Amino acid sequence: MIKLIGFLTRKPGMSIADFQAYWREVHAPMIAASPGLRRYIQSHACPEVYDEYPPAYDGVAEAWFDDLDAFNAAVAGPSWRAAIADTGNFMAPGGGRLLATEVPMIDTLHTPAERRGMIKFIGLLTRRPGMEVREFQDHWRNVHGPLVQAEFPEMQRYVQCHAIPETYSLTPPPAFDGVPEAWFENLDVFPWRMVRRRGEELQTAAAQDSQSIFVQPIPSVVAREVVIVE
């Protein structure tokens, strides 16, 4: 199974509350009606942390399909075309997307119902210049992933989303090389050192390895999930 990950910024002048309501109540049913859609989850940036930790995006959308053929059939359909036409009503231009496969690292809380109300960290990774895609993915999965697991025992679930290598030849190419997702019980236990800012450097093993393979600083979103199609 593959999933489309899209990155959303609200249009200028639109409040966070209005953006989230429109995305959830008006836009979501258009995507949900697409043929072949297996699951659809919206991750809404937590409004209460905007001032101190402004998110890279206001929201992140995830839509699952059996394969690339099923995805291509969905985006060619009338429901998806209507959704694309609707984006200008609540989104700013740009954003970007990638098609990815999931690599579960901490494989618990399998269903959205089990994760309801939890805090979700979403990172947006770009590999260092000169690093090949497959080299990057192997290092991220087999070297960096275990370091992250050791550093953040508060994680309840941890999934790496790897850009599908063959999509790099498409136009546009993937917006990012990978998206790590990690779930935490609530904001009280969320480790804010995950959301590093420009100029901040940590000396942990995971942080040092991060600097060796990812462009810094790493954009991120701290969010809660809204399940549209389960």
For 179-188, the pLDDT digits (tens) are 999 999 999 9
Is the separation of the CB atoms in 160 and 102 below 8 Å? yes
Mean pLDDT on 57-78: 97
Mean pLDDT on 38-45: 98
Structure-token pair, residue 27: 């836009």
pLDDT at 200 over 80: no
**pLDDT for 198:** 61
Q: How confident is the model at residue 199 (pLDDT cuts 50, 70, 90)?
A: low
Instruction: Give residue for tokens 């959704």.
Output: 83
Q: How confident is the model at residue 172 (pLDDT cuts 50, 70, 90)?
A: confident
Q: What is the DSSP string of the chain?
A: -EEEEEEE-BPTT--HHHHHHHIIIIIHHHHHTSTT--EEEEEEEPGGGTTTS--SSSEEEEEEESSHHHHHHHHTSHHHHHHHHHGGGTB-S---EEEEEEEEEE----SHHHHTT-EEEEE-B-BPTT--HHHHHHHIIIIIHHHHHHH-TT-SEEEEEEEPGGGGGSSSPPSSSEEEEEEES-TTT--GGGS--TT----SHHHHHHHHHB-SSPPEEEEEEEEEE-
From residue 227, give the alpha-carbon distance in Å to each of 40, 94, 179: 7, 24, 19
Mean pLDDT on 29-57: 97
**pLDDT for 69:** 96
Q: Where are the domains of the chain?
A: 2-229
Q: How confident is the model at residue 203 (pLDDT cuts 50, 70, 90)?
A: confident
Q: How confident is the model at residue 202 (pLDDT cuts 50, 70, 90)?
A: confident
**pLDDT for 197:** 62
Mean pLDDT on 163-176: 94
Considering the entire predicted model, what is its pTM? Answer: 0.96
For 79-93, the pLDDT digits (tens) are 999 999 999 999 999
CATH architecture of 2-229: 2-Layer Sandwich (3.30)
Mean pLDDT on 101-118: 94
